[in-house]
Amino acid sequence: MRLVGRTVVAGLAEGPVLASDRPLSLLGGVDNETGEVRDPESPLRGERLGGRVLVVPHGKGSTVGSYVLYALRKRNAAPRAILVSKADTILAVGAVLAEVPMVDRIPVDVLRTGDRVVVDAAAAIVDAPDLVERDVVTSFLEREGRILVVRRSEQVGSFRGKWSGVSGFLEGVDAEAHARREIEEETGLTDVRLLAAGPVVRSRGPDNTVYAIRPHRFASRAGGVRLDWENVEYRWVVPAELAGLDAVPKLRAAYEATLG
């Protein structure tokens, strides 16, 4: 699988991932001699940064933390590269001082500790050779201010029993045409009008699969829902209810991606 972000500090690196879903504080949160994470609030506590590719949403804390990264580089205890969702001053300046390759605008939540990555920061490319990306089309049907969600049956291959939009693996290159076909097959609805198609939203499965979700939002004018074997129940919910459903990963994020 390949991820493309934005160059912060150019360079090449390869190694195992050390990933956290929380921001990391360098000053006080990382030992500046050993590179061991000391932050009691970090899930990485006790881990060492050296020889690994650090993956975090962004940094936090004092800007003096930049010099912690520089000190780690002098002691050969710095990470080989840094990948973040959004570059912040602390990590960016530290990466410049320490000459650690850094890329931002990466969906860091699809990477997990132990994944192997190859980073070409000059090209803003991150390759994860052991991960497989699969394209998925997910459609949200709107009617009178509500959204159609369906609960997946026990016969489908993944996320059984979870609520989702009308979804299916993308076949071919025309995502909208495939979305319309899935809607007709899974709900029996044909009178739909495209309102918006959002950018790709990526979601990590329970294994080495990353789902590249291509979200679409349609207006559904009329007609009753007729489910096929893939789903066992449906509801029309207001958007605020999406967060409370026992749903497939990134369901709400996929819907919000269609809002612009």
Q: Which residues are catalytic?
A: 62
CB count, 10 Å around CB of 186? Answer: 22
Integer CA distances (angstroms), 155 to 161, 166, 231, 249, in order:
10, 15, 9, 19
The values of phi and psi at residue 5, to 5°, are -125, -135
Sequence-ordered list of residues with C-beta below 8 angstroms from that of 177, at least 6 positions apart, any chain: none
CA pair distance 18, 115, nearest whole angstrom: 8
CA pair distance 87, 108, nearest whole angstrom: 12
CB count, 10 Å around CB of 149? Answer: 25
- Alpha helix (H) ranges present in the chain? 65-74, 89-98, 175-187, 251-257
